[in-house]
Structure formats: structure tokens, C-alpha cells
Structure 1
Amino acid sequence: MALSLRNPVAREWVAHQREKVRPWSEFLDFSSFRKPESPQELKRIFLKNIEVYHANYMVLTTLLLVYAIVTSPLLLIAISVFFVMMNLIEQKGQKILGRDLPIHQQFAISSVISGPLFFLASAGHALFWTLGASSFVIAIHALSRYQEPEPTPPTETV
């Protein structure tokens, strides 16, 4: 099964995540940032911010990944070659050395060909830079953006 937005489940998931993105003015409201008073409050704020802003964090991580790819021309070429090969395989079966190969073997061959290109283009470096940079930004935001505690529902006393 190929990763594609033609898949209705993937399309529905993306639409659901887009609905959860909070306004960026709220996300970047620096008047809401402050130092937590205690470790318990720090934990509560962190978990609440991850829950509330996870869709914004996914958008931020995606933008950082796109930035890492666009600023590395060789990586951009390697990814383009990989997707062109995948597209050719999906459109029509390829004969290799006069033999019909199953589609999974064709995908394996394209991965073996693309592997050295990704290595030369430092794809791992870009991926881990994105992971580190987004983790740092997310942690700073989630730890310092204040969230009001949820009010406890009133209890009935008899």
C-alpha cells in the first residue's frame, strides 16, 4: 500500500489534523509565556500544551523538514529521483533484463539505487537536524506557554 492522499483514510486523517490546528496568533502569543511555579505545574502545563497544540507542532515539524530539504540541493535531487522511480513503477510494470519482476522487487531495486544517493545527500543529517530542532522548539513552547488549570466540576454533597 503506497503512502498517498488518494487513500481515503489518509485524506480523512489529514483533514482531521487540519481542523485541530489552533490559530497561530494564539500559538505565538508571547504574553502567555511564563515560568512555571513548581514541577507539578510544569508537568501539567507540558502535557496540556502537547494535547492542545499537537497539530501546530506537526505543522512546525513539517515546515522544518521542508526547509532542510529545500536548502540541500543534492537531497532535493535524490528525493526527486526516488519519487520518479516510484512513479514509473506504479504507472507500468518494468521489465528488467527481459524478466517481469514482481512489484515488491521493483520497489526494492529502486530503494537500493536510491540508498547511496540519500547517503551522499546526507539525508540522515537533515532528518536528525529536523528532529532535534523541532524537539527543541516544541519543548520550549510546551514548557513555557501557560495554560489555565481546568476547573474541577462541582461535587454534590448530601
Structure 2
Amino acid sequence: MVSTDPHVLPVSTTATATTTQPPIVTAVVESQPPAVRAFVNGVTETVRGSLSRSRPWSELLDRSAFTKPESLADAATRFRKNSSYFRVNYVCIVALILGFSLLAHPFSLVLLLCLAASWLFLYLFRPSDRPLVLFGRSFSEYETLGALILSTIAVIFFTSVGSVLISALMIGIATVGVHGAFRAPDDLFLDEQDPAAAGFLSFIGVPTTSSVAPSAAPSPV
């Protein structure tokens, strides 16, 4: 006779291991771009965006537009108008003069590059939770910053780097000043913006008041 046992036979349910904790994937961390690459990419994008707002160099070097200013006030007015229009071009001229001056003085260039590398790798790109260890000694954050500041002062004021930078900046500013004073601004580009209201970062693309004036008409009551 068949035995009808009401008891249900236990089913062997081997519970799967619930150890579904996410493992520490170091490859993801390693695949992240380093701080140096992020910094270089940011600088590159900034330079490209600024250069895209530069004026045509043929317009900057138009010989027919150079005339002698009538007075110092006229020269100052010309420089103010030209500097607000050729702002990016003037910055490029000063940067090129500075670069050629450093290339003409390799020792100053090497010192400046070493100083910049020290700031980048010993302070800016170094993890803040780990102290700097050099020659078996640990340096705190304030000690590292103080040493970098003292090194910068020593390199700039006690070597030829400071004189090269100052002379190059003076030559660049003088070149820009002479161009801005002797180039007669014409009405073709002066109508594009108000030179008196243009700020130092006016080439970023802030909308002018002339573009929003029609939409700001008061509604009749």
C-alpha cells in the first residue's frame, strides 16, 4: 500500500551566497585622467576659447590706419578704444615677446620651468592627505608652502629671471601702447561695442545692452 505521508519533503535549496558586495575595482581609478592631464586640458580649452575671439591680424597691422595722434588726450582715447577691440591680440603680443625673451635666455627659462614644476608637483597636484617626504623627512602643508614661496622669491629676485620677465613685460606693454596710440580707430568696429563700458574680460561674450534694449520696451499701462 502506498504511504501518503502529509509531510512535505524538504527541498534542498542551496542558498546562493549573498556576498554581492561590489569589489574594489582599481582599474576604474587608474583609468581616470591624472590631474596633470586635466590641468593641461583646461588650459588648452581656455586658450582656444580666447584665441577664437581675437581680431584679424590683417586689421591689426593695417598700415593705412596708422596716423600721428593730435595730442596726448587723443592718444589716450585711441589706446582705450583699440585696447577694448584688440584685447586678445594685445595679450598674444605680450605673451609672444615674453616667450621670445625666455628663449633668448635659456638659463632663466630652465629656472622658471623648474620653479613651475615644483609648484605643480609638490603643492598643486600632490594629495592633501599625504605629507611631503623628502630625504627621509616629512614636511607639513605649511612648511611646503613656505619653502615654495621662499624659493619663488629667491629665483625671481636673486637670479636673472626677474630682470628678464620685467624687461619683456615692459617691451610688450610699450609695443601695445605705441600701437594703440598710433592706430586710428575707425567707425566700422567702434559701432560694435561701447569702449567705455568694455571691461577686461569683455571678449568672453557678455551680451551688450544694445542687444537687449528692444525687448525691454515698457508695456503701456
Normalised by the length of structure 1, the TM-score is 0.74
Query: How far is the alpha carbon of 1:83 from its aligned partner?
Result: 2.8
2:75 to 21, 25, 42: 42
1:110 counterpart residue number: 148
Q: Is the 8 A contact 1:74 1:121 kept in 2?
A: no
Q: Is the 8 A contact 2:98 2:172 kept in 1?
A: no
Query: How far is the alpha carbon of 1:132 from its aligned partner?
Result: 1.4
Give, in whole Å, the separation in 1 of the partners of 2:157 and 2:71. Answer: 45
Give, in whole Å, the separation in 2 of the partners of 1:34 and 1:121. Answer: 41
2:175 counterpart residue number: 137
Q: Is the 8 A contact 2:132 2:140 kept in 1?
A: no
1:124 counterpart residue number: 162
1:100 counterpart residue number: 138
| Structure 1: stretches of 5+ with no match in the other structure | 152-158
Give, in whole Å, the separation in 2 of the partners of 1:5 and 1:144. Answer: 42
Give, in whole Å, the separation in 2 of the partners of 1:104 and 1:70. Answer: 34
1:52 counterpart residue number: 85
Give, in whole Å, the separation in 2 of the partners of 1:10 and 1:87. Answer: 14
1:88 counterpart residue number: 121
Q: Is the 8 A contact 1:18 1:55 kept in 2?
A: yes
Could you list the per-position Cα deviations for residues 103-147 of structure 1 after superposition, in whole angstroms to 9, with x for gaps in the alignment? Answer: 342132134345434445312211211121112111110011111
Secondary structure (helix, strand or coil) at the match of 2:86 reads helix
**Percent identity at matched positions?**
22
Give, in whole Å, the separation in 2 of the partners of 1:27 and 1:49. Answer: 9
Question: C-alpha root-mean-square deviation of aligned residues, in Å?
Answer: 3.1
Q: Is the 8 A contact 1:34 1:146 kept in 2?
A: yes
Question: Residue 79 and residue 85 in structure 1: after superposition, are their counterparts in 2 closer, same or farther (change >3 A)?
Answer: same
Give, in whole Å, the separation in 1 of the partners of 2:103 and 2:165. Answer: 13
Normalised by the length of structure 2, the TM-score is 0.55
Give the paired residue count.
Answer: 149
2:66 to 10, 33, 37: 33
Give, in whole Å, the separation in 2 of the partners of 1:22 and 1:60. Answer: 13
Most deviating of 101-110 and 128-137: 101-110
Secondary structure (helix, strand or coil) at the match of 2:68 reads coil
2:52 counterpart residue number: 19
